A and B are shown apart, each in its own frame.
Chain A
Amino acid sequence: MRPKRKKSSRWIFLSGILVTALFIFLGNKAVIKTSTDEYCASCHIHPHSTQSWKLSTHYDNKRGIHVHCVDCHLPPHGERYLPEKAKTGIRDLWSNTFKDSESFNWEAKSQIEYAKGHAFEVSCIHCHQNNYPLGLTKEGREAHLYYERQAGELHCINCHITVGHYDPNRLHAKNMDFGIIETADTELYTEPGVMEGHTNFTEYITGSTVSFEMIAIPGGTYMMGSPENEPFRNTNEGPVKEVEISPFFMAKTEVSWDEYLSFFKQTGAKGKTSDAYLNVVNDDVDAISGPTPPWGAPDQGWGKSSMPAMTMTHQAAEVYCQWLTKITGKKYRLPTEAEWEYAARGGSSTPYFFEGDPKRYVKQGLRNKLFGVDTSGINTYIAYMENSGARSVSPETKMENPFGLVNMLGNVAEFCSDWYAEDAYAQYGTDVLLDPQGPAAGEEHVVRGGSYRDGAEDVRCASRDYTRSVPWLKTDPQMPKSIWWYSDCLHVGFRVVCEFEEPGANQE
């Protein structure tokens, strides 16, 4: 009996080894099989993902090397390859089975913040081990020195986003051709618009074919900020202050690419290589020197013309206003934060200028998560996260607010002239404030209105945000960094206001 049992246990042992070997063999087969480009492409229905990959330098290069999906979208073997593979596999299986691929927002998924999550930097470094190959350009050497000094704050794809999937609108290079538009034989405006009393007027940009609408905003008093019981209220929105605003004009829409490019064309320093100096000395605007060529495509390929201009710096927006003042003979500037909120509210004191509960429009709570967000109502007025497709929209697609202004909330966020302070409202006294200007000094400027990429909670009338000078210029490789274009901010633009002087106000 004994020998027999020994024999059988030996068989069990041997077959155990065999089964294990088979398991490993098949498992390995499965891993290999499920790691081919063809396998990825069999489910991944991204529009153009294979095509853009084949156009990229990771497919089409002189060395004839093809870099495969898993080489970038999974970490290298031995560095959490299998766990990450399992994780993405389960996620993809779930999405493929239960989700409608039509509902995927590929635009949003290709943005840097998201892309960082599915392109592994360890994988970049696994192949690209030398940041200083011979033949690297001077700019490349400077940029890599900079990258190394940022110690973990930059991912390779912050600059090299197009290497795996080609996108001509996102090349990391100075765009010398930007804004060069062949002028057709249309007539150029020779006279600026005429302001007749405090009524709406059309402004004409002389030397161009561009005009825009200015809305007369009546003077009045309102409560600035939000009550403590407003959903999603932040503490920087209070305490609520009573504010009196004098009459002024505000542009109906955010400054469009047509408008901004007129400025770029008339003042742009095309031949200039350094961004170091801004040629405006206080009141002397005779010698306004405009933007240098931007990096990449500031419009992201989303379209120019009436689309809101964006990615210009706060300083550039201010110079734009000075330029507009000079060519029109009126007083253009950025709105103060108080003017901005007064105009956005249009007489309302609710979270939005229309009826609607912010809680209904956010992707929070079980109901909204399961059944999707009901965006009817808000769709009419605001381009925001749940309806924008992760890009800005043309102003024709949204309805006006009670003052006749479009896209005050959402679309692109807007610069104000005030310095930002968390406790700006608390710094004010208790009297009614007349045309407050914000703190006397600060580091960053106020940004209002939220943008196409914000949730419903951040596109309320009272929401406050601010510029972030350092992160918004993170990947600008120039020394010093551009004063004209943010390299890493895609959601902020601005709107101009024009001052109104009561007839006879200057007579005294």
Chain B
Amino acid sequence: MKPNKKTSRRRFLENGAMGAIGVIGASQLLQSCTTGESTAEVVVPNILDTAPDGQPIRAGVVGCGGRGSGAAINFLDAGPKLSIVAIADVFQDRIDGIRGKLKKEKDVEIPDANCFTGFDAYKRLLEVDLDLVILATPPYFRPEHFQACVEARKHVFMEKPVAVDPVGARAVMAASKQAEAAGLCVVTGTQRRHAWSYQNVYARVKAGMIGDITSTNVYWNQNKLWHKEKQPTWTEMEFMLRDWVNWTWLSGDHIVEQHVHNIDVSNWFVGDHPLEAVGMGSRLRRPTGDCYDNFSVDFIYDKSVHMNSMCRQINDCATNVSEYIRGTKGYLLTNNHDVFDLFDYEGNELYKWESPVDADGNKTETSPYVQEHIALINAIRTGNQIVEAEQTAISVLTAIMGRESAYTGKKVTWEDMMGSDLQIGPKGEIKLGPVDMDKTIPVAGSAPE
């Protein structure tokens, strides 16, 4: 919790000091939280502006589309002595794309010998001398790639969601424990957990400012996401991969792929995962793939704490990306990295997060997409291990539980998920060509006689 030299004076006063108090007060805090009696000390962890200096870290990127390239740049922005030295993707044009971007934006050149294509490109990338791997392929591949990275003793930054089905989610939970035992660090793209704003309101909620949490509402309602039209030169597999967010076997559907962010916030604040879910959803306007475009799920945690979750990707409808956390004494509103307010039920504002600004009024807050890499590098260089894979796998499995309930119309429990052999995706080896799988879009229930 020592403030880093590069932490600004202002930030040190704001966060560092609180962090220092926090360490001492942590045990008391836990106690007072469970009793819910009085407001305990507010503990905001020390958030760094940049990663500390240390041993050089050489990274490889697996999955070089938009998020892979973005994550590579975020990684390089996180601190000193960080380099990208190898890249892997199924497609050559993705390799060319990220090379161009890295050259243009960061003057980084990747040698030909360290560029790999194909479905097994990640295996060859792991043979390069690397310290860390960034995994940003469609999530279907994540459990296999993550396992391989852990076995190869690499630190990992991987994008959420970390799996698309229960078998995959459990595989990541186990691999996470392996990473922990092997001393590796893993950060998982749930950047809200690293944002200054969320950290500050979380500390206040944990300190009891709004009492015990009684329910949460989480939303990701937005316009249609992107899609690709099938090109004549593409095989079916290539089309699916390039259009991946629209295919459940590749993305997990949008409740898992996108809305997991908000579900993860609910799990984080409640400090648990739901025990059951009843959900509904449908596909009204999505042009390609087999995903739904709207879900609404009632999740129930222990002690009857409900999470109402809602997500939609349809144009010209009400949009809302936020969380609403309701406690016995007040509530928290968060709104897509913008509004973070705590109120009591008389309407008094208990706390409002103000993003720090410089003399000219510009926000000085580090982007949460960089912040999560700072946390990872800091953990590796200071030895304060951080492994987020299991907690994210739990949130992903929560979202999968909601999805399966909507698909089937049935109540689905956490026990069902932990014992399920559901594995989605094509039969047999994954390769370019036609895709042998059931592409029926699920419809819940049965029609009247």
Contact = CB atoms under 8 A, between A and B. Distances in A.
Contact of B182 (A134, A141, A144, A478): A134
A243 to B, nearest CB: 40
Interface string B163-186: 000010011011101101110000
Nearest to A478: B421
A142 B175 CA distance: 10
B421 A276 contact: yes
Nearest to B422: A479
Contacts of B174: 132, 141-142, 144-145
A478 B222 CA distance: 40
A133 interface: yes
Contacts of B180: 132
Contacts of B171: 138, 141-142
Nearest to A130: B181
B400 to A, nearest CB: 15
Contacts of A136: 178
Contacts of A142: 170-171, 174
B413 to A, nearest CB: 14
A138 B174 CA distance: 9
Interface string B395-430: 000000000000000000000001111000000000
A134 B178 contact: yes
Interface in A121-139: 130-136, 138
Contact of A133 (B170, B178, B419, B421): B178
Chain A: interface residue count, which band?
Answer: 10 to 19
B145 to A, nearest CB: 14
Contacts of A8: none
A3 interface: no
A479 B418 CA distance: 9
Contact of A141 (B153, B178, B419, B420): B178
A479 B419 contact: yes
Contacts of A481: 419
Contacts, number: 41
Q: Chain B: interface residue count, which band?
A: 10 to 19
A134 B154 CA distance: 12
Interface string B243-275: 000000000000000000000000000000000
A149 interface: yes
A132 B421 contact: no
A470 to B, nearest CB: 11
Contact of B418 (A132, A149, A478): A149
B349 interface: no
B150 interface: yes
B178 A479 contact: no
A145 B171 CA distance: 9
B421 A479 contact: yes
Contacts of A149: 418
A149 B153 CA distance: 26
B409 to A, nearest CB: 20
A287 B230 CA distance: 41
Nearest to A129: B181
B419 A134 contact: no
Contacts of A276: 421
Contacts of B173: 145
B151 interface: yes
Contacts of A274: 421
A323 B421 CA distance: 28
B153 A134 contact: yes
A30 B174 CA distance: 44
A274 B422 CA distance: 11
Contacts of A141: 171, 174-175, 178
Interface string A261-277: 00000000000001010
Contacts of B170: 142, 145
Interface in B62-76: none
A149 B417 CA distance: 13
A480 interface: yes
A132 B177 contact: yes
A136 B175 CA distance: 10
- Counting chain A CB atoms within 10 Å of each CB, the highest count among B171, B174, B418, B421 belongs to B174
Contacts of A478: 421
User: Of B153, B173, B177, B182, which is in contact with the most chain A CB atoms at under 10 Å from its CB?
Assistant: B177
Given A131-B177, A141-B174, A479 B420 contact: yes
A212 to B, nearest CB: 36
Contacts of A479: 167, 419-421
A134 B177 contact: no
A135 B178 CA distance: 9
Nearest to A276: B421
B181 A132 contact: yes
Contacts of A145: 170, 173-174
Contact of A480 (B153, B177, B181, B421): B421
- Which of A274, A276, A479 has the largest count of B CB atoms less than 10 A from its CB? A479
A144 B180 CA distance: 15
A225 to B, nearest CB: 37
A232 to B, nearest CB: 38
A144 B173 CA distance: 11
Interface of A: 130-136, 138, 141-142, 144-145, 149, 274, 276, 478-481
Interface of B: 150-151, 153, 167, 170-171, 173-175, 177-178, 180-182, 418-421
Given A133-B181, A134-B153, A149-B418, 8 more contacts: A132-B177, A132-B178, A132-B180, A135-B151, A141-B174, A144-B174, A479-B420, A481-B419
17 contacts: A131-B177, A132-B174, A132-B177, A132-B180, A134-B150, A134-B153, A134-B181, A141-B171, A141-B178, A142-B171, A145-B173, A145-B174, A276-B421, A479-B420, A480-B419, A480-B420, A480-B421
